Structures are given as structure tokens and as C-alpha cells.
Amino acid sequence: MPRLKLISQTESKQKIMYRYDQYDHQMLADRIAQFRDQTRRFLEGQLSDAEFLPLRLQNGLYVQRLAPMLRVAIPYGMLSSAQMRKLAFIADQFDKGYGHLTTRQNIQFNWPALADVPDILAHLAEVEMHAIQTSGNCIRNTTTDQFAGVAVDEVEDARAYCEIIRQWSTFHPEFAFLPRKFKIAVCGTRKDQAATQVHDIGLYLLKNEHNEIGFRVLVGGGLGRTPVIGSEINAFLPQEHLLTYLDAILRVYNREGRRDNKYKARIKILVKETGVSDFRDKVEYEWMLLKDGPLTLTRVEVERCRAFFHDPQYKSLPSHSNDLEAALNTDVLFSAWYEQNISEHKKPGYAIVTVCVKKTGFAPGDLDSDQMRFIADLSERYSFGEMRITHTQNLVLADVEKSQLYDLWKDLKTKDLEADNLGLLSDMICCPGGDFCSLANAKSIPVAEAIQRRFSVSQLREIGQLSLNISGCMNACGHHHVGNIGILGVDKKGEEYFQISLGGSADHNTALGKIVGPSFSQEEVPDVIEKIVTVYQQHKASGESFLHTYNRLGMDPFKEALYGTKADEHHTD
């Protein structure tokens, strides 16, 4: 039996999330002992750098520009208050007091010491957390829409299926050394907020005419150097076949994915080179061997997992709150935040709150340990002790009573967490960039800040919903391809330049942005963004979004505003 303190088991009794049993705990305990031994052998010189590399990566440990970076898994983005407090403890004890939310709904610490990592993992295990397969050429953390379980008009709650996939993918013996990393997203909401179509496998939950649950299966989506939108290979996969079908896809990929060139190793290249139809045939051939075998999901297992994600004990509330109404009428700042950061909840009298971690002057997605503890407290006071990380690097309190929103907002203000720019141009997705990452061509954080400083609050509101995504290199961690405006750091003879693309989108109608033209220097970027926005504002019909306006106008007016007739004077890429 594991000798771990099972503190969370009592603490999380009431929690509406997956809870570990003795098997899950034992699996983590064994993993930590294994990695402790591997780290010891590495430090004693018994394991070479090359041999230790995939072992540490599969425990979330990178070696970065300045120090190791540890990426902790937050399965499908869900966190309890106890887990958040543990992250704060780790930030203080082993790091410089902060952490960075990632686009895979994970959190990373930028300054841990290699020798401390086994201890950090042991601390994480106490609250049923780990860093398993958060990097390396293996199946990564499965992500979903942050509104799973609370969204209006949800087809089905994706979290139970994410947990089923988490367990299937954890230490899968056949798929620990894939050609390249592998990312899966599951979406059960109508408005896809999980960027499902740009995943190696994207799964949309569906119900057929008999009300049976299944999945529409997309493969071969991805960003990176070659952005591709996933292709459908199965229009309705009944839920019991989920894992056998995933096994079949992964086996085809493991055998046939390219291993000769890192940049052609993702499944999207294999699907393209094979052709969607032939790829589907190969999957079917493998699947016939596995279908209806032991890996077929049982009703008991599906029900077991679904039961963890039951509704919390909602009160029966009127849908209208007089307290809320009064506050909205008297406090304009609160009202502005409410407009932007609140989403409709499936239960009357409740609201979904997104805490935007994009306040100007702070690195996008960074949380310090005080903020972490504070949000943990708030989640207990206002939202059943649970929170979610979004792939846009923000935080969600999913179950807040409408009558308490004003109190919550006043609390958030005390820790600089009241940013009311959710979904606006300044709510950017931004990778850590050249300040931290050894792959980056350019520093993305200063560019993000310069853009944030360029626009006033009222300007941002006037512009409205607009996604701006920044990546420091073509690995596209900042999802620049699917931003309405995308910014990509490129290297030109040792200097940092930025390439701008327009028209990207990551929702149900995913689209890849098109490059507008030659790249710009760092100083030029805020002007460039302002010019793009001006074109939009000049041409938009009343209430028309940026994306819609761009799709109607095409690239030309934007090009003209940016380059005019002087396009030739710019460097070309």
C-alpha cells in the first residue's frame, strides 16, 4: 500500500471531480519512486543525457534557457482548492513564487532545481496531481471546454471521457515512444472553446437518434510549422468503442508516422501523405482486431466515471437577482466586468465567472502564489471549491450565485484579478517566449505588453471580441494560427521580427489565419495592430465582429493600410 498521506481523500469528499482510489494512488507512488531512482542514476552519471531526456520529459521536466521547467498536469483543466493551495506551496518552496498557465490547461514552474523534482512530485501526489506525460513524444494531457458540465445546451459533459482517456493514456506501454507528441481534446459543448479541430485527435460528443452517446472523430489537426484542421474519420463512434478506436489510431501512427524528420513527425503529416480515406482504412483494419475486446468500455466504468462529475448541490434560485441588478446599476466598473467576464450558466440564479489573468503589466497567464491561495479561498467561498484553467490561460469559477457576483468582484480587486478584458484584444494567448524558452526566436511577453498598453479600456470595449495570439516561434505554443490576429516571432539575421496573420479562429468553425505580408520589427507591432483595428472599425457594420468583417472584406484593405505603396521597402521573408 502507498504510504502517501491521503489528505485529499477526506478534503475532497464533497468535490465534483475525479477522486483517486488505491490503484490511482499506487500508480503515482510507483511513478515517483521510479523517477527518484532515475534522477539519482542521472546525477550519478549512470544515465546519459540522451537516455534521461525522454524519462524526464515524460515527467514534465524540460531544461530551459535559464533553469529547468516543470510542467504539472491539470487533467482537463480542473482543480480543487486543495490542489491550488499545493501549487502555491510549490511555487513558494521550490520556485520563485509564481506559475504560468499553459494552453494545455496545465501550469508550469520555471525555476525548480532538478534534484528537487522527485520531492515536488511527491507533494503533488498528496493532492492527486502529477506531471506525467506533460511533455515528450507521448500522449499528453487531454483537454476540454472549460465550461464542461455548466454550459447551457451542452450535448454531454466531456470530463468523464477525458478521465477515461487520461487513465488509458497514462503509461500506455505501446505508445510511450511515439514519433512525436500527441494531443487529444474532447468537446461536449455547442460552442467549442477547446480548439478541438487543431488537435492530433479531436472528439466531439454527439447523441444519435436513439439518444445514444458517441463521438465524431477528427484526426490530423495541429498547429506548429504546418497548421492543419483535423479531418473526420468517423462520423459517429459509439462511446463503448472509444478506447479501442483510439488504440487503433495510435497504433497506425506509432508504426507509420515519420521518424526521419522531427518537423514531419506529427500525425497530421501522416494523414496528409496517406490520404484521409486510406488512413481511415488502416485504422479500421487495426480496429477490427481490437473492437469488442477487453478494452471496450463497460457501462459500469462509464457510469463510475460520470458519477464523479455530478452537479454540486445547487440551491433552487430565481433566475433574477435584485442584489446583482442593484450593483450593476450603481457600479460602472463592476458592470463592465460583468459584461465581459460572465457567461450564462445552465442553472437559474448561477453564473460562470472567468477570472482574466491578462492584466496589463503582468505576463499573460502568470499567477503568483498569493493569487493562487486567494483564488482557492474564493473558490471555496463562492464556487464549491473547484476551478478550471482555460486553454486561453485564464481561470474559471464555474458555479457562482448571481447574488454573490458583486462580492466576488470586490474580492478579486484586492489581488489584481479584476481584469475586465476577457475575450478582448488584450486577453491574448501568449507563449513564454524568448524570456524563458530555448526554442523561441523572439520574446513574446514584451510584445504582448506593448500592445496592451497601446489601447485604452474604452478603445478595447469599442473594438469588442477579438482574439490575438502570440507565439515566439513557429512551434506555435501561443496558437497564433487560430487567433483572429496572429503574431509570430521570426528570426531575421539575428534580429527579432514579427509576422502578422489575420482571420484565424479556434471554435466550431476553425480557420487558419493568412499571413498579411512582410514582417515587422518589435517597435512597429503596436502600430501595426492599431492600423488593423482601424481598418476593421472603418468597415464594420453595426455589431459585426472582427472575424466576420475580415471574412467579408478579405485581406486587401488591411494590406493596403499596413504597406500602402511602400510594401517594397520592407524586407521580405
Partner 1 sequence: MVPRQMSTTLIKHGTLVPDAWVLVRSPDELENLEKRSGEDLILPLALWLTEQQSIASRQGQTAVWLNSNEIPESIAGYLDRLPLVALNFPEFKDGRPYSSARELRQRWRYQGEIRAVGDVLRDQLFFMKRCGFDAFLLREDQNLDAALSAFHDFQDAYQPGIIQPLPLFRRR
Task: Report the site for partner 1 in 289-308 (rule: CB under 8 A).
Answer: 289-290, 293-295, 297-298, 301, 304
- Interface with partner 1 includes 521 (CB under 8 A)? no
| Shortest reach from residue 38's CB to partner 1, in Å | 6
Residue 21: Cβ within 10 Å count: 10
Residue from the set 9, 14, 19, 30 that interacts with partner 1 by CB under 8 A: 30
In the structure grid, which three cell numbers stand for residue 339, read together?
459584461
Helix residue ranges per DSSP H, 44-74: 49-57
Query: In the complex with partner 1, which residue's Cβ is closer, 132 or 408?
Result: 132
Q: How far is the CB of 253 from partner 1 (least distance, A)?
A: 10
Name the minimum Å distance from CB 161 to partner 1. 13
Which member of 3, 23, 211, 541 binds partner 1 (CB under 8 A)? 23
Instruction: State which residue, 41 or 272, has the beta carbon closest to partner 1.
Output: 41
The Cα-based distances of 392 to 103, 157, 178, 291, 395 in angstroms read: 6, 20, 27, 36, 9
Closer Cβ to partner 1, 300 or 332, answer by number = 300
Taking the C-alpha atoms of 323, 328, 332 and 333 in order, what is their torsion angle to the nearest 10 degrees?
A: 70
CB of 174 to partner 1, least distance (A): 5
For residues 85 and 180, which CB has a smaller minimum distance to partner 1 in the complex? 180
Supply the minimum distance, in Å, between the C-beta of residue 279 and partner 1.
16
Closest separation in Å from C-beta 21 to partner 1 = 7
State how far Cα 487 lies from the chain centre.
18
Shortest spacing between CB 1 and partner 1, in angstroms: 10
21 contact partners, CB below 8 Å, separation of at least 6: none
The only residue of 8, 38, 110, 340 in contact with partner 1, by rule CB under 8 A:
38
Scan for cell 457600479, then name that residue. Answer: 331
Total residues interacting with partner 1, rule: CB under 8 A: 41
> With respect to partner 1, which residue has the nearer C-beta, 152 or 295?
295
DSSP string of 460-478, one letter each residue: HHHH-B--EEEESSTT-TT
**CB nearer partner 1, residue 158 or residue 248:** 248
Q: Which of 21, 292, 303, 491 binds partner 1 (CB under 8 A)?
A: 21
Q: Which of 4, 11, 54, 407 binds partner 1 (CB under 8 A)?
A: 54
Looking at the Cβ atoms of 66 and 307, the one nearer to partner 1 is 307
| CB of 73 closer than 8 Å to CB of 28 | no
Q: Which stretch binds partner 1 (CB under 8 A): 28-36, 118-126, 518-526, 554-562?
A: 28-36
Quote the cell numbers at residue 540.
Answer: 464594420
Count CB neighbours of 300 within 10 A: 8
Q: Which of residues 153-212 bind partner 1 (CB under 8 A)?
A: 164, 167-168, 170-179
Cβ distance to partner 1 smaller for residue 297 or 535: 297
CA-CA-CA-CA torsion sign (127, 132, 134, 140) = negative
Which helix or strand (DSSP H or E) is residue 186 part of? Answer: strand 184-187
- DSSP helix, strand, coil percent of the chain (3-state; round to 5): 40, 20, 40
- Give the closest residue to 242 by CA, choosing from 282, 295, 206, 284: 295
* 31 lies in the site for partner 1, by CB under 8 A: yes
19/255 with CB nearer partner 1: 255
Task: Report how far residue 253's alpha carbon sits from residue 470's, in angstroms, rounded to the nearest whole number.
Answer: 30
Cβ of 149: how many Cβ atoms within 10 Å? 27
Q: Which three cell numbers stand for residue 503?
A: 482571420
The strand pair at 201-207 and 143-144 is best described as: unpaired
If the CB atoms of residues 173 and 361 are measured against partner 1, the closer one turns out to be 173
Q: Could you say whether residue 573 binds partner 1 (CB under 8 A)? A: no
Interacting residues of 565 by C-beta distance below 8 A, sequence separation 6+: none
Residue among 160 and 451 whose Cβ is closer to partner 1: 160
Q: How far is the CB of 438 from partner 1 (least distance, A)?
A: 20
The rounded distance, in Å, linking the Cα atoms of 438 and 42 is 22
Cell output for 382 = 463562492
Is position 137 an interface residue for partner 1 (rule: CB under 8 A)? Answer: yes
Closest approach of partner 1 to the CB of residue 320, in Å: 44
Site string for partner 1, 246-285 (x = CB under 8 A): -----x--xx---x--------------------------
* Buried-state track 473-493, b at ≥16 Cβ within 10 A, e below 16: bbbbbbbbbbbbbbbbbbeee
Choose, by CB under 8 A, the member of 4, 6, 27, 206 that binds partner 1.
27
CA–CA separation, 316 and 334 (whole Å):
25
Between 301 and 524, whose beta carbon lies closer to partner 1? 301
Residue 351 interacts with partner 1 (CB under 8 A): yes or no: no
- H or E element that contains 386: strand 386-389
Site residues for partner 1 per CB under 8 A: 21, 23, 26-27, 30-31, 33-34, 38, 47, 51, 54-55, 137, 164, 167-168, 170-179, 243, 251, 254-255, 259, 289-290, 293-295, 297-298, 301, 304
